[in-house]
Structure 1
Amino acid sequence: MSQSQRILLIGHGEQRQSAAFQRATALAMAGGAPLHIAVLIEPFVTYSLLAPDLQERIRTSLLNEQQRGWSKEIQRLKEKGVQATLSVLWCEDPREEIVRHVEEMQPAMLVKDVQREALLKRAFVTPLDWYLLRECRVPLHLVNDARHPKPQLIVAAVDPADPEAQYQGLNDQIIRTAAALAIQCSTEFQLLYVYNDIPPYMTSGEAIAGWADVIEELRSTLHQSFVDLAKRHGVPPERRHFVLGNPVMGITDFAQRMQADVMVMGRIHRRAMDKLIGSTTEAVLYRVPGSILAIHPEQDDRVS
């Protein structure tokens, strides 16, 4: 197994057996992929107020403590046959450090626990996970929960509408990634498209009745695009789900109802405006029960 297929896990400093750890180790074992765990230790809020010599002692103590604890985990993984390595680093800026790790290692996948931020804080500071969704160039697996460490239900959420505004090939990339992950985990994947064909100004019953033919024609066109995409990848009808509704709520409801382990999604499907206001993937990140595997539109479609 080449190093280009390595999984990079951002270790949780306070919870070693976290959901992301369980998922990353299960995928490494299922695919025979090397696993590197990077543990980033950030200074606490009042650290800068301490005297320099005390700062150095605390820094050394924290690093040694994490090194000892994580070395035991690495040894357990090696005993299970996982080719595991470890780095424990003092980190002033986790954003820069994670991106640097990705650029240097070029892993097949970056795995990380979802880091929930308060709504008020999100209004002023871009959460780390949202930052990674926008900046990380490899498949990004953000884990809320791993009740099945090796996924049992994988869903590819696509959006074949308005192909001229789409990043070319992204839907195909999402499906190929989901299919490869399903093969690796010895399971199947479902294909989902949540479409919203009713503009906001047509929410009244009278407006809908007046535009019924137009709406039905649009629905039929979108459905055919979805069917064509599914057929191109050999997805049988029983694993296709064409759902009417708001994309954020529709994807969330589907994931909750089906108890999906992984939702494979594109980070941004369309150019321009979505880059400014965020994406569906960012909106559902804190809502889905399992995890999201986010695919960047410009990256190679690789999984471990």
Structure 2
Amino acid sequence: MSEQKRILVVVDPTASFHPSIERAAWLARHTAAHIELFISDYAPQVADPRAHGAAAMDTRAALVERHRRRLEQLAEPLRASGLTVDVEARWDYPLHDSIVRKAEDDAADFVIKDTHYHSVLKRSIFSNTDWSLIRNCAGTLWLVKPRPPGQRPCFVAAVDPLHERDKPADLDHRIITTAKTLAGELHGELHVFHAYDVAAAIAMSTDSMTMPIALPINELADAMRAQHTEAVEALCKKHGIPPERTHVHQGGTRQLLLTLTEQLRADAVVMGALSRSGLKGLFLGNTAEDVLDRLHCDLVIVKPAGFEPVLS
């Protein structure tokens, strides 16, 4: 991260409530970070000035100026509280690529964006833009849920030290470093989570054999427990994380992570993401899509070192 953190806040021009701005201000007050409020918009009916002439250009300019004035209104109370805030509105498409381009231009340390949590369904509504940013945003992506953080915020770092999802070896260290830094700057606490699934391992072993054989299930379970626990403990020891803040569980990641975040009243889960061809190739540690949209807390996504976004 740069010496002074730069926070890019993606503002939804159709929304009246902006938890992402509140989260960015909270982070900036603890880190003296620079905030930029950003709106990117596009109207296909006036996208081609060759077809619509000067009137289209005037409409585009008026739209961008209206967004810029709205951003200035949102920035005023932040500046009055002593924060450094810039604004930019631009005409660009598609939205996710526009955000990635802006983040790259500004060398943003954090890209903070709202998501929407549906309290009746007890799940978040992740947009196509959210998923595209998870895949392709090089900076740390912070997807915000509409609830304030606790006085002593709790961060859960989800790791996969055995790299069962083909993660680069340094990604877990980046995940923990990010979570530990945030916990330290925001006067919170850090927990580390890892899950492994004996049943899935047995199924994979059986499927890979031409002739199924009887597996020593108890021995396999004991061996996996020892292997995964040792790997997580070694990782945490390098980062000075005490055993009582380390959670290694056997079973499906989805329910175990959801249960832990609820027990801890976690404010954010920090995890890693890799980009592959298509959504089905998106790996986030041991997690899957149905974990992400059911988390009640914020989601912070970290990319491997040297990650390069691919723009359309």
Q: Normalised by the size of structure 1, how large is the TM-score?
A: 0.81
Counterpart position of 1:123: none
**8 Å CA contact 2:276, 2:282 repeated in 1:** no
Shift of 1:298: 2.0
Q: Counterparts in 2 of 1:37-52, with a 5 A limit?
A: 37-43=37-43
Q: Percent identity?
A: 23
**8 Å CA contact 2:4, 2:32 repeated in 1:** no
Q: Counterparts in 2 of 1:273-288, with a 5 A limit?
A: 276-280=280-284, 283=289, 284-288=291-295
The RMSD of aligned alpha carbons is 3.4
| Matched residue SS, 1:199 | helix
The residue type equivalent to 2:192 in the other structure is L
**8 Å CA contact 1:138, 1:299 repeated in 2:** no
C-alpha spacing 1:191/1:84, structure 2 compared with 1 (3 Å): same
Pairing 1:91–2:92 present: yes
Counterpart position of 2:112: 111
The residue type equivalent to 1:85 in the other structure is D
Counterpart position of 1:34: 34
1:293 to 286, 294, 300: 300
Counterpart position of 1:235: 241
Counterpart position of 2:24: 24
Q: Counterparts in 2 of 1:249-288, with a 5 A limit?
A: 249-268=255-274, 276-280=280-284, 283=289, 284-288=291-295
Shift of 1:289: 0.9
| Matched residue SS, 2:191 | strand
Is there any run of 5+ residues in structure 1 with no aligned partner, and where? 117-125
1:20-45 deviations in whole A, cap 9, x for unaligned? 111111101111100011111232x7
Counterpart position of 1:122: none
| Matched residue SS, 1:89 | strand
C-alpha spacing 1:275/1:62, structure 2 compared with 1 (3 Å): closer
Shift of 1:266: 0.8
**8 Å CA contact 2:194, 2:232 repeated in 1:** yes
Pairing 1:216–2:222 present: yes
Q: Counterparts in 2 of 1:176-215, with a 5 A limit?
A: 176-199=177-200, 210-215=216-221
Rounded to whole Å, the distance in 2 between the matches of 1:30 and 1:75 is 19
Rounded to whole Å, the distance in 2 between the matches of 1:240 and 1:195 is 14
Rounded to whole Å, the distance in 2 between the matches of 1:21 and 1:208 is 57
Rounded to whole Å, the distance in 1 between the matches of 2:9 and 2:262 is 25
Rounded to whole Å, the distance in 1 between the matches of 2:159 and 2:107 is 25
**Number of residues paired by the alignment?**
286
C-alpha spacing 1:165/1:58, structure 2 compared with 1 (3 Å): closer
| Matched residue SS, 1:25 | helix
Which structure carries more relative contact order (alpha carbon 8 Å, separation 6+)?
Answer: 1
Counterpart position of 1:6: 6
Rounded to whole Å, the distance in 1 between the matches of 2:114 and 2:236 is 31
Rounded to whole Å, the distance in 1 between the matches of 2:278 and 2:46 is 38
